[in-house]
Amino acid sequence: MMYRPIPSTNEPLPVVGLGSWQQFDVGSSASDREPLRQVLTRMHQKGGKLIDASPMYGRAEQVIGDLTTDLRLNSSFFLATKVWTTGKQAGIDQMEDSLRKMRRKTLDLLQIHNLLDWQTHLKTLKDWKQAGKVRYIGVTHYTASAHDQLERIVKTEPIDFVQVNYSIRVRNAEQSLLPAAHEKGVAVLINEPFETGSLFRAVKGRELPAWAAEYGIESWAQFFLKFILANPAVTCVIPGTSNPAHLLDNMGAGFGQFPDQKIQAQMATYLAKL
């Protein structure tokens, strides 16, 4: 697995992580949890580290905490979650709850989900970082309409991470937000890399171009993820899956060569012509 540094510390982070929205909101039965156990086991075997959760994702934080602890891998993962509420005390209570559910004394990354009451929570996050309860802090969103505001925060606040949507067909982030993050030394996580799965419907029954093999691309998932990783501002991409075979496929995008910007443009053109 290839690594890229988190700019604020230079800590290396594997370039493919895991999202947990919907996929990890399951009950406690063996049939619900076994595929997710496999997902986490294979992710660890392939060298993946970052798992992104949120209190918005139902039982996901608890399931991640339980399974990583059962597997004795809790401290091997880079656990990221979010605060998603309004008001200072409600935010603190929610973050304490996340620590308990994810079975940690320290979280690796806490992000303000969709910028909800972000000025209030940012103060708390700075305090928590100072106190050592969280190693990194950040903000997230998933729509282009929020990119200007994310960019202002990236330029003016001492955050470590910004998480944003970016994909081969939804490219607004690359105009100004990603360059700003690169310049300010803010790590970038990419959500919805498959446009929540609609990219797979767009290429159903279509062949990969022959030249994709030169970049070690063996599937459409790897095509879409390597397109994103071709952007040097991107630190880690977090595709969501509950399927162990898909997990292995996605981790595969973290190996081999990444396309340069010329090939990245060629990838987008190829897809647009299908």
By CB under 6 A, tell whether 255 contacts ligand NAP. Answer: no
Nearer to ligand NAP, 23 or 94 (CB): 23
Nearer to ligand NAP, 10 or 57 (CB): 57
Distance CA 129, CA 124 (A): 9
Distance CA 122, CA 171 (A): 27
Nearer to ligand NAP, 164 or 230 (CB): 164
Choose one: 16-24, 67-75, 170-178, 201-209; the region binding ligand NAP (CB under 6 A). 16-24
By CB under 6 A, tell whether 108 contacts ligand NAP. Answer: no
Q: Is there a contact between 142 and 149 (Cβ–Cβ < 8 Å)?
A: no
Choose one: 120-128, 140-148, 174-182, 206-214; the region binding ligand NAP (CB under 6 A). 140-148
Contacts of 272 (CB under 8 A, 6+ apart): none
Q: Give, as ranges, the residues between 202 and 241 that touch ligand NAP (CB under 6 A).
A: 221, 238-241
Tokens of 228: 């994103």
Q: How far is CA 67 from CA 20, 25, 26, 62, 64, in A?
A: 13, 13, 12, 8, 5
By CB under 6 A, tell whether 114 contacts ligand NAP. Answer: yes
**Exposed/middle/buried for residue 203 (C-beta within 10 Å: 0-12, 13-18, 19+):** middle
Question: Beta 12-14 vs 3-5: how paired, if at all?
Answer: antiparallel
Nearer to ligand NAP, 197 or 260 (CB): 197
Distance CA 172, CA 271 (A): 17
Q: How far is CA 255 from CA 13, 47, 121, 152, 226, in A?
A: 14, 10, 36, 33, 10
Distance CA 136, CA 125 (A): 9
- State the nearest-atom distance from the C-beta of 177 to ligand NAP, in Å: 14
By CB under 6 A, tell whether 74 contacts ligand NAP. Answer: no
Q: Give, as ranges, the residues between 149 and 208 that touch ligand NAP (CB under 6 A).
A: 163, 191-197, 200
Choose one: 13-21, 120-128, 207-215, 228-236; the region binding ligand NAP (CB under 6 A). 13-21
By CB under 6 A, tell whether 48 contacts ligand NAP. Answer: no
Query: Which residue ranges make up the site for ligand NAP (CB under 6 A)?
Result: 19-21, 23, 52, 113-114, 140-142, 163, 191-197, 200, 221, 238-243, 246, 249-250
